[in-house]
Amino acid sequence: MTPASSRRRDLAAIVASIAATVFGAGLGELAAAVVSPTASPFAVIGGGMIDLAPAWAKDLAIDLFGTGDKAALLVGIAVLLLIVAGVAGVLERRKAPWGRVVLVALGVIGAIVSMTRADAGTLSPLPSLVAGAAALVAGLLVARLRRRSTKAPTDDGVSRRSVLALSGVAVMAGALAAVGSVAVSGGARAVSAVRSALRLPSPATTTPVPAGADLGIDGLGPIITASSDFYRIDTALVVPQVDPATWTLRVHGMVEQEVVLRWDDLVTLPQKETVATLVCVSNEVGGSLIGTARWLGVPLRDILERAKPTTEADMVLSHSVDGFTASTPLEALTDGRDALLAIGMNGEPLPIEHGFPVRMVVPGLYGYVSATKWVSELEVTRYDRAEGYWTSRGWSERGPVKLQSRIDVPRSGARVGAGDTVIAGVAWQTHVGVSGVEVQIDDGPWQAATLATAISADTWVQWSLPWNATSGSHTIRCRAISADGQTQTSDVAAPAPDGATGWDERTVSVA
Ligand SMILES: Nc1nc2c(c(=O)[nH]1)N[C@H]1C(S)=C(S)[C@@H](COP(=O)(O)O)O[C@H]1N2
Ligand SMILES: [Mo]
């Protein structure tokens, strides 16, 4: 065989193997959609990778892709899979049956990982096994065709075309199966229908939003973030689908009385509506992983009171149905702040990706130690006995929110006309509160900005400063002063392990 024809055969083997893999992957997704969406081979491999990721990797992913980190991961897995499939193709041609073995091994690996997932059921390995088996069968079919083509060298052109045609059909069938899996995925539609039909109880107490809370400045986001604009951060590649009818919350551990709460119990308890700002520990200085919403729910204190934590307990490890956990100081849940077991967000049931039907919201703490979505368990324990999901990956065990401020107007790199304009932004240290914001233009003096009326210490506050802009390039920076008199530090710290610090800064060119 000439090197050229060998290369051509390698290429054909690669195409055939990739086609078989796409076919297998598509069928695996379809099988998952039918038996269990969270057991999708892509979801279990991706979920496993997320769980293995250390603090810096999470940070890097959010840094590079923002809230598109999950899509980026799935694309990454797909690319990796295709590369492995290509290598398997060459291997199969030169050292059969090792290429086939690799494809089957991928399915088996998926099946094994699927069984280690927190939400694994008995059928969880099935989709990955289907994927492996389908890839094997498709691979064998194409190989058979290829062998025929080697036996009849004169027919080479024709057979190569049929190999390509069969590969094309396999790819198309795989893609179709994957698309079909979205349509078949009944679980998601069912829960979303339940959510739409749900009526929330009315709150016994509410938090008013003062008229002066929103400065109404163009480019400054609204004081209450629309649910559809609210940032989303979690480890769930497939959003958990939890039906309120089957939801339970088990309060156990270091308690005098174990308590199990059902949805019907929860909605009959007195509800509170509060406004609270939620911020992610991964939020960079000037970042957008922060939002403010009206939350409806039952104070966690009322729930814990029924279980009666013992005096040695100092932490509540909240568990999500998908295995995520958060370690919250028991004190933050019982000291009277508006720590809620929330069922409503901005007047509607929680959006499914924000924790439907029930999540936690605790003012003053970053989300990773407090805001468990799809919550299913409150384990009363101690910091020296247990740790939360991100703590075991290098993040701090307690996550009090740090004092921060952000410039929203003018936007970074914006072109501003000379003359009277405005600088504006938000500042927060949830549950402590903000008493002032100062702004520095170039190397000028720090000037006091005007603060909007705060909703409460649990929310961000808007601020603004009139500015007579002169032409040229200007650097604007801001710093907040907390309600307890601290000035926001200029020390620069990365988000890991307990939240970013430093001053937000924008450079704008004035025409
Ligand atoms: N079940 C679950 N809950 C979770 C997380 C998660 O990964 N899984 N992430 C937490 C983190 S890190 C943050 S910042 C908030 C984000 O809540 P949001 O997506 O509603 O904005 O949810 C918290 N609750
Ligand atoms: Mo977070």
Report pLDDT digits (tens) over 194-203: 999 999 999 9
Which range of residues forms the domain containing residue 114?
3-194
pTM of the predicted model, to two decimals? 0.89
* Ligand 1 site, residue 434, Cβ cutoff 6 A: no
In a domain, 201, yes or no: no
Joined tokens for residue 279: 């911020």
**Same domain for 83 and 225:** no
Q: What is the pLDDT of residue 155?
A: 46
Asked if residue 186 and residue 284 are part of one domain, the reply reads no
The reply to whether ligand 1 has any atom less than 6 angstroms from the CB of 319 is: no
Helix axes 3-35, 98-116, angle to 10 degrees: 30
The answer on 152 and 11 residing in a single domain is yes
**Residues 341 and 232 reside in one and the same domain:** yes
Q: Check whether residue 225 and residue 320 sit in a common domain.
A: yes
369 lies in the same domain as 478:
no
- Tell me the pLDDT of the chain averaged across its residues: 91
C-alpha–C-alpha distance, residues 326 and 316, integer Å: 8
Q: Is position 205 within any domain?
A: no
What is the tally of structural domains in the chain?
3
- The answer as to whether 171 is a domain residue is yes
Do 151 and 37 share a domain, yes or no? yes
The answer to whether residue 423 sits within a structural domain is yes
Cβ of 367 below 6 Å from ligand 1: yes
Q: Do 374 and 265 belong to one domain? A: yes
pLDDT at 164: 80
Ligand number, closest to the Cα atom of 282: 2
What span, in angstroms and rounded, lies between the C-alpha atoms of 92 and 77? 22
Phi, psi for residue 148 in degrees, rounded to 5 = -60, -40
Cβ of 324 below 6 Å from ligand 1:
yes
Tokens (6 digits) for 89 = 């193709």
Atom number of ligand 1 nearest to Cα 231: 21
Single-letter amino acid, residue 502: G
The number of C-alpha atoms within 13 Å of 126 and in the hemisphere containing its C-beta is: 14
Decide if 117 is inside a domain: yes
Query: Greater confidence, 122 or 142?
Result: 122
pLDDT tens digits along 154-170: 445 556 777 788 888 88
Q: What is the pLDDT of residue 237?
A: 86
Residue with tokens 């468990």: 372
Q: Same domain, yes or no, for 8 and 150?
A: yes
232 shares a domain with 289: yes
| 88-133 per-position pLDDT tens digit | 999 988 888 898 899 999 999 999 999 988 888 888 999 999 999 9
The CATH number given to whatever domain includes residue 441 is 2.60.40.650
Q: Is residue 202 part of a domain?
A: no
Average pLDDT over residues 236-243: 91
Could you tell me which of 424, 44, 480 has the C-alpha nearest to residue 216? Answer: 424
Do 297 and 265 fall into the same domain? yes
Domain at 268, CATH number = 3.90.420.10
Residue whose CB lies within 8 A of the most ligand 1 atoms, among 58, 59, 119, 233, for a mutation test? 233
Question: For residue 146, what are the contacts with CB-CB under 8 A and spacing of at least 6?
Answer: 12, 13, 16, 159, 163
User: Using one digit for the tens of pLDDT, what is the confidence trace for 254-279?
Assistant: 999 999 999 999 999 999 999 999 99
Do 54 and 112 lie in a common domain?
Answer: yes
3-state DSSP of 296-360: EEEEHHHHHHHHCECCCCCEEEEEECCCCEEEEEHHHHHCCCCCEEEEEECCEECCHHHCCCCEE
Looking at 338, 364, 393, the residue that finishes a domain is 393
CA of 185 to the centre of ligand 1 (A): 24
Please write down the long-range contacts of 59-64, taking CB distance under 8 Å and 24 or more positions apart: 59/282, 59/494, 59/495, 59/496, 62/233, 62/282, 62/289, 63/284
Question: What is each CA distance from 419 to 20, 384, 415, 441, in whole angstroms?
Answer: 65, 59, 13, 15
Whether residue 431 lies inside any domain: the answer is yes
pLDDT tens across 204-225, in order?
999 999 999 999 999 999 999 9
**With a 6 A CB cut-off, is 372 part of the ligand 1 pocket?**
yes
| Pocket lining: 368 vs ligand 1, CB cutoff 6 Å | yes
Mean pLDDT of 405-409: 98
Final residue of a structural domain among 393, 424, 445: 393
How many C-alpha atoms does 52 have within 13 Å on its Cβ side? 9
In a domain, 298, yes or no: yes
- Helices and strands in the chain, H and E counts: 11, 19
> Which residue reads 């994957």 in tokens?
178
Whether 170 and 22 have beta carbons less than 8 Å apart is answered as yes
